[in-house]
Structure formats: C-alpha cells, structure tokens
Structure 1
Amino acid sequence: MNRELSRRQPAYGWRDFALDRLPFVAAFLVGITFVAAVILLDVHQSGTDVSSGSLLYLAILAVFTLGAWLAYDGFRKRAFYRELNAAAVRSHELDAPLVLHSASTREHQAVARLLGGLHEAYAGELARSRREQEIRRHFTMQWVHQMKTPLAVIDLLLQESALEGRPEGAPPDGRDRSIAEETERMRRGLDMMLHTARLDRFEVDLNVRQVSLRELATAVLHDYKKLCIHHSVFPKVVGDSTAETDPKWMSFVLHQLVANAIKYSKTKPGSKKLLVAIEAASGGGCTLTVRDEGIGIPPQDLPRIFDPFFTGENGRSTEESTGMGLYLAKRVCANLGHGLYAESTLGLGTEMKVTFRPGGIHRM
C-alpha cells in the first residue's frame, strides 16, 4: 500500500521545492520592507522627498531578482529531483541510490556520497552474509550425507542380527524393532534437514515432468508400511491423475503429510484408516487429499500450523514434533505453484489437500 502510494506521489516535487524556500522568501520580503522603511524614515528626517514610483520600482526589481534566482535554482536541481523520485520508486531495490548522478550543490553531493557509501557497506555485508549462508548450507548437506552412512550400517547390522538369531519367519524382537524405528526417525530428520538446506537454491534442484500421483503416493506409503502395521493404521490410495511437478520434492511433501497422519493417529486405540484420495478438479487440474482418523487439530491451532516452529497443542504432547514439517511442505508447494490447505475436526481427523493447477508449475 505504501509502495503504491509512493509511486503515485513524487518523493520531491515543485510543491516541496516551494515550501522549502518559503522561509527564505518570507525573510527576503521582510528585509525589503525594512529597507523601504529605513529609506522612508531617512527621507522624512532629511526633509527631502522620494517618489512612490521609485520605491515600487525598487520592490518590483527585488521581487523579480528573487523569482529569477528561485527559477534558476529549481531548474538546475530539476535533474537531481527527477533522479530522487526515480530512486524513491525503486526504494525496495538495493541499487536504488546509485541513480543519483546529477547533484548540483555541495549539499546534494554530500547526500549522494553518503547514500553511495551506505549502499556499498550494505552490499558488502549482504555478500558476506550470503557467503556464510552458503558455507553453512554446504556443511549441512555434507554432514547429512555423512550421517546417513552410520544409519545404513545400523540397518545392515539389524538385518544380519535378524538372520542369525531368529527363526525364519519369526517377527523381530522388541529391541530390534525399537532400534529400527529410532533409526527411521533419524533418517527422516536428516532428510528434513537436507531439504531445508536445499530450499534456498530450489531452482537448481528442480526436475519437472508429468508424474502419476497414484504411483508417487503408493511409493511414499510403502516407506511407512512397518510403521502403519505397528500402529494399526491401514493406508489406502484411491483414484489417479497426472500432474506436472517435481517428483522428488512432491515426494518430500507427501512424506511430511503421511508422517503427520500416522504420528497423530497412533495414539488413538483400535484400527485407523489413512486415505490418500486423488481426483480431477473441475476446470482442470487435480487434488490429492491425505485424510486420517487421528486426534485432529484444535481450532485455535489450525490457522498457524504452517508457521515455522509452531508445534501447537498436539505437538507439545509429542516429543517428535519440530514444527517444521508442514512449514517446509507449504514452502515447497508454493515454489512448485501448488496449493496446500488443511481442514480438521478435533477428535475425528485431519485432511491435508494439495491442489495442482491445470497450467502446471511456476517457471523458475
């Protein structure tokens, strides 16, 4: 709103120019009045006479000289004011002060030098901050990849332990199952950290194509097969459609939605359903809905579930909650040009709906 207003109104116009010089004009006129008064007083004391025409001529000459000077002053500064207005329109851009080239007075030159110095200092600080951010991002990605190696070794040791110490077909004991679950939690946490680091350079890691949403959802649910069995959650995929998206990023979004659905369904007793429904939308496009029968989201928390680090009432009762999963999913969907919305009834379950536009994703 303020930016649009600044585009309609110049930052510095002729009205501002006149108002700035109004005290000078007033002082000049007062000075002329005093001069005329002194002349009249002197004439009166000396007994001589002076014509009113001469005084009027003197006043007109003084006012004309003042007007000529103001006109000259305004026109010589016109280019600077034009550049100032252009910079104000681009005030949200980093290089806006660099358009001030036509400073005609020492005052304007000092202001232009000050703005140029501030721009240079800010640009240097921004470049330094970006370099540090890139170093942190690179370190994070490298660290995540290094931490995945021990997890793979733990999985391998669990498989070997299962083959050596348990009869064929027998279920894993409680210790091995707990280790496997905690390992999977660590893997999901590392994946979230990796995708968080990659979001800053989203366009570099983008591969868009037509994707079968049913195949994508089935693959994601397969990753949670053991967890669903353990918590009596029965997943199902209905419908099918294709959408233009990035399969890897969309898989990350579905992992967050499915993981949340299981996490907030497992505390309810008995069997629960987890439905992934895919259907074409009227007017083109399609929707993918992840519907669970979990504990639901309190109404006061629902508007904030996509905020970063917001865990809400449910999250505070769950040690696994970081408040980042849905935030990252929302950001990924926004970058892909998809919508992500939530509906929930406390105690009955939650629906997370991803909408795919008929025109495809945003072009990066």
Structure 2
Amino acid sequence: MFTTYLKERGSWILLFLLLQFLAVFIAYIDSAVSLTSILYYVFLSLIIFMVFLVMRYQKEMKFYQELEEAQDTMDFSHREFLSPFERMAAESITRHFEGLRNKVSENERMLDEEKDELLSWIHEVKTPLTALSLMIDRLENQTLKKEMTYEWLRIHLLLDQQLHQRRIPFMENDLYIEQTDLESVIFGEVKTLQSWCIQKGIGFDFDLESKEVMTDAKWLAFIIRQLLTNAVKYSERSDILITSDQRNGQTILEVADTGRGIDSRDLPRIFEKGFTSTAHHQDNAATGMGLYLARKAADSLKIKIDVESAPGKGSTFKLTFPKSNDFVRITGM
C-alpha cells in the first residue's frame, strides 16, 4: 500500500528532490553561500519531508481504506475531518451511488412485475389449454387426434418449463421435503408423455429396486420430466430403461435411452443455459433450457446429476440422491 502511495505522490517527491538539488547546486557554484549549511538544511528538510509523507500516508490511506470498506453503503457522514478534495470525492461518489441504487431498485421492481405478469399469463393460458385437451379427446379422427395431442403436449411442456424457470430463483421457499414414492412420480411423468411415446414407438422398461427417497416430490417430478422429455425427443422406436437401486447408502436413479447420443465435446456443456448442440446446431426444436433447469433444481435438492453418452449409442442420466442424514444436516431439518 505504501509503495502505491509513493507512486501516486511521485511528482511531489520529484519536485522536492529537485529543489534540494537546486539549493546544493547554488551553494556549490556560489562561494558566498556556505555548502555545509545548505547540506545541513537539506538533511533536515529530508527528515521533515519523510515525516510529512508518513503522516499524509496515514491520513489519506485511511480515507481510501474506508472507501473500500464502505462500498455497500458509501456513507461518509461519520468522517468529520475530510480534506476539501476528499469531501468532493465523497460527495460525488455518494451521489452517483445513490443514483445507481435507485436505478437498481427500479429495475428490480420492473423485473418483479414482469415476472408476476408472466406467471399470471402462464396460469391463464393453462385454462384454454385444458379445454383444448378435452376437445382433442372427443375427436374421432385418430390421425388428427394423435397429431393434435402431440402439439398440445409440446405447448404444455414449454409452458411448464417457463413456469418452473421463473420459480427456481425462489425454489427454497417452495420446498417440502418428505418421504417420496419414486415409482408414482416416475409413472406419472411417463403417463404425461404417453401419446408422444406412442407416436414415436417408444416404450419403457422399469427396474425400481429402491422406491422411496427423501426429497420434494413436485420438484423431483420436474427434474424427471426434463430427463424423460430429453430421452424421448432424441429416440426413435426404442425402449427407455429406468432403474433405481441403493449404492453406499444412497439411492441412484438412472434414465437410459438408445437414441442419437451426445457428442463428447458437448458433454461438459449440456447443462449450460441455452446450449443445444454443436453436432446438431440446426435443431430448432431444442431450447437448451431443459437440462439447465434440471441441474438448477437438482442442486437445490442436493441431487447430483451425471451423464454418460456416446454418438449413436444413447445417453444415460444418473441422479444420485443424498443420504438421509446428510440431507438433514445440509438443510437443517
């Protein structure tokens, strides 16, 4: 810190040294001036100047240190002995900080209003969407019925994704941890995708040895929905295998498909927001949000998501649930 201060005051120090050199030079060329007296004067001046530098360093650095410490409030009202320049800087910083804080508050308010309006819109759209589902069920043309059911499901899943995307930042306020029946959650999500799976000739195989986990059922259903949607989307006329078992006191749930798989260069990025694919970059059906939101929700539930995949051989997503004792310790329940 002191080195920085010396660099900042380098021009002052240089001016002082030049003045001392000038005094010695004059005494050297003018025999009427005592060189010994001038050297004595220079020596005393150096001592006084060094004391002055140390005192100024302590005073000025105190202001800059408080400037760093006060970055959250920028309140300098408690400083009684500010120099004129320090007071000007403090007032300017405080004024700009207040302006920025007001701007941030206004932006946060607008974002909250926008979020509330979007959530309200999503809930309103669900009503005609439910009515549309009932109308589709009454169709006698089976081909048209399958096509419309598929398009209805796409809209339903996209709305559901948007709804949960808005809720995830406040997910901790919505959690209800309880002993959850894994089988019923999985079967409920498979039933939702039934019409899509029939259209694509996709079946399911189940091997659920471990059927209960300690978690939030609603958010677990959302995570599984994203994994199943991803598996069905990139599979064709094949089976999706869903298994669960206990390993080292933890429940492991795996969702394995035999679809097109994921390129090795994409694997580290599939959970990033908005990332779709480099090998299939032209795929307009992908939003790049499903796996990102699944990971965000899983992190809040202390669930670890891993994936193994290879092009043309399918993908296996693995959910590792926390141990019951660890979960209680982490969440403070």
TM-score when normalising by structure 1: 0.80
More divergent stretch after superposition (247-256 vs 292-301)? 292-301
What is the DSSP-based 3-state SS (H/G/I as helix, E as strand, rest coil) of the residue aligned with 2:327? coil
Return the alpha-carbon distance in structure 2 between the equivalents of residues 232 and 67 of structure 1: 86
Which residue number in structure 1 is paired with residue 43 of structure 2? 60
Deviation string 1:151-196 (CA, Å, 9 cap, x unpaired) is 111222233x35xx6xxxxxx6111222222212211111111111
Which residue number in structure 1 is paired with residue 108 of structure 2? 130
| Structure 2 counterpart of 1:26, from 5, 11, 14 | 14
Change (3 A) 1:75 1:259: closer
Which residue number in structure 2 is paired with residue 278 of structure 1? 244
Matching residue's letter, 2:45: A
Whether the aligned pair in 1 keeps the contact of 2:262 and 2:315 (CA below 8 Å) is yes
Whether the aligned pair in 1 keeps the contact of 2:24 and 2:39 (CA below 8 Å) is no
Query: Structure 2: 5+ residue runs without aligned partners?
Result: none
**Offset of residue 291 of structure 1:** 0.6
Return the alpha-carbon distance in structure 2 between the equivalents of residues 226 and 253 of structure 1: 20
Deviant stretches of 4+, over 6 Å: none
Return the alpha-carbon distance in structure 2 between the equivalents of residues 248 and 57 of structure 1: 85
Matching residue's letter, 2:301: L
Matched, 1:246 2:216: yes
Which residue number in structure 2 is paired with residue 90 of structure 1? none
Which residue number in structure 2 is paired with residue 7 of structure 1? none
Return the alpha-carbon distance in structure 2 between the equivalents of residues 51 and 182 of structure 1: 102
Matching residue's letter, 1:95: D
Which residue number in structure 2 is paired with residue 120 of structure 1? 98
Which residue number in structure 2 is paired with residue 218 of structure 1? 187
Change (3 A) 1:78 1:307: closer
Which residue number in structure 2 is paired with residue 6 of structure 1? none
Whether the aligned pair in 2 keeps the contact of 1:258 and 1:290 (CA below 8 Å) is yes
More divergent stretch after superposition (70-79 vs 185-194)? 70-79
**Offset of residue 126 of structure 1:** 1.5
Change (3 A) 1:99 1:341: farther
Structure 1 segment 111-190 matched on structure 2, within 5 A: 111-159=89-137, 161=138, 173-190=142-159
RMSD: 2.7
More divergent stretch after superposition (137-146 vs 70-79)? 70-79
Which residue number in structure 1 is paired with residue 311 of structure 2? 346
Structure 1 segment 40-51 matched on structure 2, within 5 A: 41-44=29-32
What is the DSSP-based 3-state SS (H/G/I as helix, E as strand, rest coil) of the residue aligned with 1:143? helix
Whether the aligned pair in 2 keeps the contact of 1:228 and 1:235 (CA below 8 Å) is no
Change (3 A) 1:16 1:316: closer
Matched, 1:360 2:330: no
Return the alpha-carbon distance in structure 2 between the equivalents of residues 276 and 123 of structure 1: 50
Which residue number in structure 1 is paired with residue 54 of structure 2? 71
What is the DSSP-based 3-state SS (H/G/I as helix, E as strand, rest coil) of the residue aligned with 1:200? helix
What is the DSSP-based 3-state SS (H/G/I as helix, E as strand, rest coil) of the residue aligned with 2:9? helix
| Structure 2 counterpart of 1:295, from 213, 235, 260 | 260
Which residue number in structure 1 is paired with residue 200 of structure 2? 231
Deviation string 1:173-229 (CA, Å, 9 cap, x unpaired) is 111222222212211111111111112322232222232323322222222233333
**Offset of residue 316 of structure 1:** 5.0
Change (3 A) 1:157 1:40: closer
Matched, 1:259 2:226: no
What is the DSSP-based 3-state SS (H/G/I as helix, E as strand, rest coil) of the residue aligned with 2:273? coil
Query: Structure 1: 5+ residue runs without aligned partners?
Result: 1-12, 45-49, 88-93, 166-171
Whether the aligned pair in 1 keeps the contact of 2:146 and 2:195 (CA below 8 Å) is no
Which residue number in structure 1 is paired with residue 289 of structure 2? 324
Deviation string 1:314-347 (CA, Å, 9 cap, x unpaired) is 7656553222111111111122222222211222
Return the alpha-carbon distance in structure 1 between the equivalents of residues 47 and 263 of structure 2: 76
Change (3 A) 1:277 1:77: same
Deviation string 1:15-61 (CA, Å, 9 cap, x unpaired) is 222333343233223213323443555544xxxxx655433432233
Return the alpha-carbon distance in structure 2 between the equivalents of residues 118 and 36 of structure 1: 49
Change (3 A) 1:96 1:15: farther
Structure 1 segment 297-312 matched on structure 2, within 5 A: 297-312=262-277
Which residue number in structure 1 is paired with residue 164 of structure 2? 195
Deviation string 1:74-97 (CA, Å, 9 cap, x unpaired) is 33334324324546xxxxxx6164
Return the alpha-carbon distance in structure 2 between the equivalents of residues 342 and 334 of structure 1: 15
